Amino acid sequence: MDFEKFEQISRKAALLAGAKIMEIYNSDDFEVKSKSDESPVTEADEAADAMISEILAEAFPDTLIVTEEQADSHAQTADSFLIVDPLDGTKEFVKRRGEFTVNIAYVENGTPVRGVVYAPAKDRLFYTKADGASVEETGDLALDVVGNQKALSVSNPDNDALMVVASKSHRDQATDDYIAKYSVRDMTSAGSSLKFCLIATGEADIYPRLGRTMEWDTAAGHAVVLGAGGKVLRFDDHTPLTYGKPIYENPFFIVASPDVVLKEA
């Protein structure tokens, strides 16, 4: 993979998809359908998926593209692949909460090594540069002009006063029970892959996820966390979360600064 090219193309694709998503988000009404697993899908998901897939396929014709909205891609495998969630946080989108993201990542031998997370309603754009370091771009977020890039670094946590981030739409008792094992200073909630980005920026110290997710939900945020010095581990044995698993389904996991002393499940 040409990482310079990936940085440019994934940034462009995310911004274009984000603009289309916001066009639909700001309309008077949009259609919401249910997929086979009862999860919602909107015309914004489908339009963003078509746009991103076309851009990536043209730029990287020999690389497998796995995307949430194309079920046929879920049966394909490769050692290295692109993985896309064109609109992560559809529930947040439908409720007009603004906490949804465009996610594009490149996975190499089980690890998401590069990625972009764009939250168009919040004007926040996070990505890994060609060298693997993660940044948040600020400014106008223009297609043809790259704004200021703020280097990201995970927190230096105080294990006696941790900042925890949890899911806004998928909070449950098991998650609360696990969080209770820690000394918590404060908690925040966020939708979609923004939770990963809050770890990458140092705005939070730990994010436990005890619920079903798919690899396209997590890969881009995972890459951004790694590029900021963080870690993403399986919940059960604290080994690194890997990609390319059967049907692209994740186990429970924990995202954290390396200096957080993790509790056993």
What are the mean pLDDT values of the chain's consecutive 10-residue runs (265 residues total)? 98 97 87 64 88 98 95 92 94 86 98 98 97 96 94 98 86 90 94 93 97 96 98 97 97 98 93
Residue 168: the pLDDT is 67
128 and 176 in a single domain? The answer is no
34 and 145 in a single domain? The answer is yes
34 and 144 in a single domain? The answer is yes
Final residue belonging to a domain, choices 88, 116, 151:
151
Residue 55: the pLDDT is 98
State yes or no: 67 annotated in a binding site. no
The reply to whether 206 falls in a domain is yes
State yes or no: 202 annotated in a binding site. no
State yes or no: 218 annotated in a binding site. no
Final residue belonging to a domain, choices 151, 173, 204:
151
Q: Which two tokens stand for residue 257?
A: 């600064």
Structurally, the chain folds into a number of domains equal to 2
The reply to whether 265 falls in a domain is no
pTM: 0.94
Residue 79: the pLDDT is 96
State yes or no: 123 annotated in a binding site. no
35 and 104 in a single domain? The answer is yes
Range of the domain at 251: 162-256
The reply to whether 264 falls in a domain is no
178 and 134 in a single domain? The answer is no
Residue 71: the pLDDT is 85
60 and 146 in a single domain? The answer is yes
The CATH number of the domain holding residue 15 is: 3.30.540.10
The reply to whether 263 falls in a domain is no
The reply to whether 262 falls in a domain is no
Residue 37: the pLDDT is 59
119 and 47 in a single domain? The answer is yes
132 and 175 in a single domain? The answer is no
State yes or no: 88 annotated in a binding site. yes
Residue 36: the pLDDT is 58
State yes or no: 111 annotated in a binding site. no
Residue 43: the pLDDT is 87
Residue 33: the pLDDT is 66
The reply to whether 58 falls in a domain is yes
State yes or no: 7 annotated in a binding site. no
State how beta strands 206-209 and 253-256 pair: antiparallel
Distance CA 217, CA 121 (A): 18
Final residue belonging to a domain, choices 128, 151, 174:
151
